[in-house]
């Protein structure tokens, strides 16, 4: 039975480092929630609805909507830092 040597066509990575979930924090009062609207139709409405729903369960003082300029590009590092500094919880998701 003849054999053939071939090369793997897929992306290959080093062995992944084991990653653990960040420790869960108790809700901070008053909690500021930021939602990242990906700027597609209805994304802002959907994510705001979810954030406001959290207010019924947790002490949410404020919900901030941060709209990206376009859906296809991620927020940059400065934007991420700014959002982290002013929020206790950030929710991102896809509206499409």
CB 33 within 8 A of CB 93: no
Q: Which is nearer to another protein, 2 or 26 (CB)?
A: 2
Q: Which is nearer to another protein, 1 or 23 (CB)?
A: 1
Number of CB atoms found within 10 A of residue 38's CB: 20
Q: Which is nearer to another protein, 7 or 26 (CB)?
A: 7
Nearest Cα residue to 39 out of 64, 70, 80, 72: 70
Per CB under 8 A, residues contacting another protein are: 1-12, 37, 39-41, 67-74, 96
Distance (Å, rounded) from C-alpha 34 to C-alpha 31?
10
Rounded to a whole number of angstroms, the minimum distance from the CB of residue 60 to another protein is: 24
Q: Which is nearer to another protein, 11 or 22 (CB)?
A: 11
- Residue linked to tokens 């954030």: 51
Rounded to a whole number of angstroms, the minimum distance from the CB of residue 64 to another protein is: 15
Distance (Å, rounded) from C-alpha 48 to C-alpha 34?
9
Rounded to a whole number of angstroms, the minimum distance from the CB of residue 49 to another protein is: 17
């Amino acid at each position: 039975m003849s054999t053939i040597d071939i090369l793997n066509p897929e992306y290959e990575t080093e062995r992944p480092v084991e990653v653990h979930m960040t420790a869960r924090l108790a809700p901070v009062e008053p909690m500021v929630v930021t939602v990242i609207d990906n700027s597609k139709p209805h994304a802002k409405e959907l994510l705001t609805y979810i954030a406001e729903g959290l207010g019924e369960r947790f002490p949410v003082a404020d919900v901030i909507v941060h709209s990206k300029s376009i859906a296809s590009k991620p927020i940059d590092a400065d934007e991420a830092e700014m959002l982290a500094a002013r929020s206790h919880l950030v929710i991102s998701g896809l509206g499409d």
